[in-house]
Amino acid sequence: MISKKSLAVAALIASACVSHAQYTFFEVGSTPYDRQMLRVQEALITPAPYRMNSVSFGLVNEWMIELRSMPYRYSREWRTPWEVQATRMGDCKAKAVALYDRMQLHGATNLRLVIGKRRATDSLTHAWLEWETAQGTVLLDPTFNWAPTMKTTDAHSYVAYYGYEGAHKYQAGTLLLTKRAISAPNPAAPAHGAITRPVRTASRTQPSRSSFNNDALESSFLFRRTIF
């Protein structure tokens, strides 16, 4: 006979597996956002002309503070990093792409642009970045957060739907989801107007000496000035 304790442990493990599965990405051929993202495709798929190899948690923290401080301005179109730099404002998707562009130009790899919901109960979609590091997956949300945070398996916050990493496209979910055709209507406003492909420019923000240890994520760094 199975004890109640064994059943409780099994239920806990199953719950953890289900929660973690919500954050698994599977590569797909297309997503409902492909047409909209044509305006920022250049920033995602074009490799850096040179690798500065100078990306650090301290530098990323500075960029997040800069982008978080910019006024929020919603746009139906996805704004390019050049447009964000020129206007000094942007919405969640514009700030996320701008941060992606800066990090890639400075040598960051294993970086993914994610589209989903900040809270499971939200009616609108949101955009942020996820960065795979030796310390784990780091969540970068320059719209709401002042600093990077470690990604958790909380099924009620930062619920991912789709992801973009370079020329690769992903759908979040379980293996069962990948067997379904992507037929859901586009949940965001479609892109309108001419498709532009501006030349990528390096950020005006120059690398500075980091006050953080790049080999370990300190709690003071991860949770400093984080708001929800």
* pLDDT tens, position by position, 8-21: 333 333 333 333 33
Three-class secondary structure of residue 26 per DSSP: strand
Rg value, the chain, Cα: 18
* pLDDT tens, position by position, 71-102: 999 999 999 999 999 999 999 999 999 999 99
Q: Please report, in tens digits, the pLDDT of each residue of the chain (228 residues total).
A: 444 433 333 333 333 333 333 458 999 999 999 999 999 999 998 766 665 567 889 999 999 999 999 999 999 999 999 999 999 999 999 999 999 999 998 889 899 999 999 999 999 999 999 999 988 999 999 999 999 999 988 888 999 999 999 999 999 985 444 444 344 444 443 333 332 333 344 433 333 333 233 333 333 333 333 333
Alpha helices in the chain (DSSP H): 4-21, 41-45, 57-69, 81-87, 92-105, 175-178, 219-222
Q: Phi and psi at residue 84, in whole multiples of 5°?
A: -65, -40
Burial class of residue 46, CB neighbours in 10 A (0-12, 13-18, 19+): middle
216 DSSP assignment? S
> What's the whole-model pTM score?
0.69
Domains, in order of start, for the chain: 18-222 (3.10.620)
Three-class secondary structure of residue 8 per DSSP: helix
Instruction: Say how many C-beta atoms besides its own lie within 10 A of residue 131's C-beta.
Output: 22
Burial class of residue 102, CB neighbours in 10 A (0-12, 13-18, 19+): buried
Give me the pLDDT at residue 18, please: 36
Give me the pLDDT at residue 52, please: 58
CA angle 206, 209, 211 (to 5 degrees): 130
